[in-house]
Amino acid sequence: MSIGKTIRIYLDDGSVSGIRHAEIVNWTGQAVSSPRSKIKSLTSWSESKKPGVYFLFGVDEESGEDAVYIGEAENVFERLQNHLDNKDFWNEVVFFTSKDENLTKSHVKYLESRLVQLAKLSSRHVVLNGNEPQLPVLPRGDRDAMEEFISNLKILLGVVGYKTLESLEKKSPKDILEQDSIAAIPLNEEVIELNLKVKGINAKAHLTDEGIVVLATSHVSEAVKDSLSAGYKKLREQLIQNGTLEKSNSGYIFTKNQLFKSPSQAAAIIVGYSINGRHHWQTTNGVTLKSIEESNIKSI
């Protein structure tokens, strides 16, 4: 059973675009987010002078996609000052430190390594870390404590606007630590598995709270018809250009899991023309997504 969390957020200047401090009630960790333009204001924040991990968010110059750099420091504020000079891509930082003194250099190195791993697995941002930091060996108790820290960190990172660590499929950070690949991780029972089979095209997806995730190896039509909207045509081209869609003998295939905002958007990209996804995405038992939604409404 899921357990609720109480979050407190303090807006330093009363603005959602300024410096924000976020915390989970009864947790010793804390998050601070700041636009690049206000980094100097953090000099008066004792939270920034501690050991911690940080996320620099911006845009990748080569691909034009959302990008992140993840790092650690014994004094986060000093490291951020360096990044003002040597990293141009970022426009916002989110860092995490502890309210007590129990977060050590070894701990933040462990966190950095795991966070880079999680960010790469989620594929939501281009991760600009050149190499994946080596995972240090910690005593079992410390390791489990850091895994719990990561679970809460993910929540606060999402609350301040970034789902960088959230996998497109539902699983815990500890699952990822213990598994070798995304494909090997069991799905949460709440995820609805769907299929799209149209004129020789076979695609699989999972319905999630964010939309619909089309799974890697799903087939995509090579042909594009006039009924496909200009916006969907542009998105389709972007997916080809960034390697998400790869040429195959019969058209294209997805090289990785891809999140779409709606079932119709996903279906249209796959078949190459305008289509109602809620009528064509079906469960393995042949129940349409439209029928599932209607059944849920009737049950209410």
| Per-residue pLDDT tens digits for 102-147 | 899 999 999 999 999 999 999 899 999 988 899 999 999 999 999 9
Confidence of residue 187 (pLDDT cuts 50, 70, 90): very low
Give domain limits for the chain. 7-182, 192-299
Mean pLDDT value across the chain: 89
Average pLDDT over residues 187-205: 81
Residue 173 above 70 pLDDT? no
- Count of CB atoms within 10 A of residue 204's CB? 19
Residues near 160 by beta carbon (within 8 Å), at least 6 away in sequence: 9, 20, 22, 31, 33, 94
Q: Give the integer Cα–Cα distance in Å for 276 and 265.
A: 9
- Give burial (CB, 10 Å; 0-12/13-18/19+) of 198: middle
Residues near 113 by beta carbon (within 8 Å), at least 6 away in sequence: 132, 133, 134, 135, 136
Q: Determine the angle formed by the axes of helices 140-159 and 105-122, rounding to 10 degrees.
A: 50
Average pLDDT over residues 158-186: 61
| pTM of this structure | 0.77
Average pLDDT over residues 46-70: 94
pLDDT at 268: 95
Confidence of residue 183 (pLDDT cuts 50, 70, 90): very low
Confidence of residue 168 (pLDDT cuts 50, 70, 90): confident
pLDDT at 190: 60
pLDDT at 292: 86
Residue 172 above 60 pLDDT? no
Q: Give the integer Cα–Cα distance in Å for 128 and 120.
A: 10
Q: Give the integer Cα–Cα distance in Å for 143 and 163.
A: 23
Phi/psi-derived region of residue 121, left when phi > 0, alpha when psi is between -120 and 50, beta in every other case: alpha
- Give burial (CB, 10 Å; 0-12/13-18/19+) of 199: exposed
Beta strands in 39-82 (DSSP E): 52-59, 66-73
Residue pair 117/129 in contact by the 8 Å Cβ criterion? no
Structure tokens at 172: 């815990």
Q: Give the integer Cα–Cα distance in Å for 196 and 171.
A: 24
What end-to-end distance do the CA atoms of the chain give, in Å?
21
pLDDT at 1: 61
> Angle CA(253)–CA(258)–CA(259) in degrees, nearest 5?
145
Confidence of residue 182 (pLDDT cuts 50, 70, 90): very low
Q: Give the integer Cα–Cα distance in Å for 7 and 251.
A: 47
pLDDT at 176: 44
% of residues, the chain, pLDDT over 70:
92
